[in-house]
Amino acid sequence: MLRVTFYEDSRHRLSSFVAEGHTELAEHGEDIVCAAISAILQAARLGLEQHAAAKLAVRQQSGDMDLTIAPEEREREDVRAILSTALLACTAIAGQYPDAVTVRRETESPIGQ
């Protein structure tokens, strides 16, 4: 199961996302659903880094990615648009493959905001 969680801070702004696991619908490197979610999240990261030049903290390794936006960047329209689009796209894919992908939106704890 591929789990993607988008977090919002206490001001209800998208602040981070965590992706972990694999859909296991096909062999590694052949799984188009896993690749689609990965491409969306990679595009969001690139958009935030290269287009928006937002301050980020990122941890990434095979099957896992954590990305957090600095609090002072979360009100920016471009940052909000990139994160919201990633959430919408991942949610659409999860709707098509509910046994392989879950997408949640949660409020994060006050620690780390």
* Structural domain for 34, as ranges: 2-106
E strands within the chain? 2-8, 14-20, 56-61, 64-69, 101-107
- In this prediction, residue 111 carries a pLDDT of 46
- In this prediction, residue 109 carries a pLDDT of 54
CATH code (residue 63): 3.30.70.1490
- In this prediction, residue 108 carries a pLDDT of 77
Does a structural domain hold residue 30? yes
Does a structural domain hold residue 28? yes
Does a structural domain hold residue 8? yes
Q: Is the pLDDT of residue 75 over 90?
A: yes
Domain count for the chain, please give it: 1
- In this prediction, residue 31 carries a pLDDT of 81
pLDDT tens-digit series, residues 17-65: 999 988 877 677 678 999 999 999 999 999 999 999 999 999 988 779 9
- In this prediction, residue 113 carries a pLDDT of 46
Rg over alpha carbons for the chain, rounded to the nearest Å, is 14
Does a structural domain hold residue 82? yes
Which pTM was predicted? 0.90
Does a structural domain hold residue 112? no
